[in-house]
Amino acid sequence: MGELDPAFIQDFDHRPNLKATELVDDGIPTIDLSALSEGDTQELVSEIGHACQRWGFFQVVNHGIPSELLVKVEKMAKEFFELPADEKLKVKRDEVNSMGYHDSEHTKNVRDWKEVFDYLVEDETVIPASHEPDAEELRTLTNQWPQCPVEFREVFEEYAREVEKLAFKLLSLVALSLGLPENRFSGFFKGQTSSIRLNRYPPCPFPHLALGVGRHKDAGVLTILAQDDVGGLQVKRKSDGEWIPVKPTPNAYIINVGDVIQVWSNDKYESVEHRVVVNTEKERFSIPFFFQPGPNVMVKPIEELLLNGENPPKYREYNWGKFFATRNRSDFKKRHVENIQIHHFRL
């Protein structure tokens, strides 16, 4: 992974404060989704709503994704990251196409201590080429699949289909928890920009200076995260601002609310800051699914939740495709400038 970027060492806002976090119970609820198959979702909807409002995070078990598929996925991910660097760099991402492989050594402006592989749920995804309001030019993001491991593409395309099913189930429960029809959000995903990321966090010799991923909020709708038993994910607790470790739970997925749901719900549900701390001895793997709308979707508070003017909108609308394109390009363009955030659209 190379030497740590000196600029990162000076970025004290991103240094992990590890004091006593492990002494605090994480409190993040674990929700059993088996009720979905039984058709009785009333209590489940209530649990989802409570978790979204209090934490913005929860874990789910009995989610329906075959455990043998996840085992296969984890094996493939490890095999890919064990390839020689020159093999992985054959599918290296660039400024034109942000899908593929990158790490903190070969992409110098990425400060996080990790290497990743990104791919789209829809193999070719069209997004705006520019964030400018009047710009009409489009560009196409395409998946770059490595030749090795041999079944890599097949396994990860199957995984994407399975996690997408779970995402839509969760989205229905979130809608119901807001008092909306269960299919209220489903129309926003035509030409979806959803993607999956494979993360490998190598052991880090600078644990007091580096993070696996710096503190951030997720821009999309929902994130569905599979992680191994090493741990490292921390969530900023809303009640007191403490960083709380999320303890790995076997066969569970970690779910968090993204910025889009915060806007749709007009701040009833909040997208919460989280980060990943590094480990000095063990490597860690995680696989987040970023559930994101289609590029033509205008994101704004849902009309029914405004209660005929009694709950005024807190955000002006924004085009998801332009927002996504700006964030997408900023991985290469920006370094010391704040990335575009939903608070820039707050009324």
Beta strand 222-227 pairing with 30-32: unpaired
Beta strand 253-257 pairing with 298-299: unpaired
Q: Where are the alpha helices (DSSP H) in the chain?
A: 6-9, 35-38, 42-54, 67-81, 85-88, 152-177, 259-264, 320-333
Q: Give residue 112's pLDDT.
A: 66
Q: Give residue 27's pLDDT.
A: 76
Q: Give residue 38's pLDDT.
A: 81
Domain 6-345 in CATH 2.60.120.330: yes
Comparing C-alpha atoms, which of 188, 197, 190, 209 is closest to residue 260? 188
pLDDT along the chain (347 residues), means of 10: 42 36 59 88 95 96 95 96 95 89 62 86 86 75 94 97 98 98 97 96 70 80 94 89 90 96 98 86 92 96 92 96 79 55 91
Per DSSP, the three-state class of 176 is: helix
